Amino acid sequence: MRARKHGIQVQLTQVTLPDKWDKVTTKQAACAYHLHRDKPLKDFTQINLYPFEVWKHELLVSGWYVSAPMAIEQELREALEQIPVPLFAIEIKAEGVSLYWKEQGSQETVDHLANVLRLLLAWR
């Protein structure tokens, strides 16, 4: 309910995760938090962030690897580094931003993740 107060769509789903060598994928049951854009971005290629090393992905901030180059500001850098619970993945798409996790934590955890989603939605 707290996530919905932030305008986040909540969904029980599965996320496909690559292995370290980006050759094999596994599906992980997860709770997805989606924040959608009013209008999809044009000419945007999806970017994935993972809290584990994947070959060909560069380190974005401590503990986060990104599938494409991404210059970020200090506020977003700190928000990503300070995520208080483990996440499976974050996807940035033309239509919006999604994060996948086990939905465990406090109301403050949800508030922090909502802030991360808002910062990623504004990134470009």
**pLDDT digit string, tens, across residues 49-78:** 999 999 989 999 999 999 999 999 999 999
CA distances from 102 to 5, 14, 44, 65, 67 (A): 19, 11, 28, 19, 22
Residue with tokens 């596994």: 26
DSSP state of 63: T
Measured CA to CA, the distance from residue 11 to residue 73 in angstroms comes to 29
Q: What's the pLDDT band for 17 if we cut at 50, 70, 90?
A: very high
Q: CA 71, 55, 15, 6: dihedral to nearest 10 degrees? A: -20
Average pLDDT over residues 87-115: 96
* pLDDT exceeds cutoff 90 at 9: yes
pTM for this model (two decimals): 0.94
* Buried b or exposed e, range 45-78, using 16+ CB within 10 angstroms: eebbbbeeebeebeebbebbbbbeebebeeebee
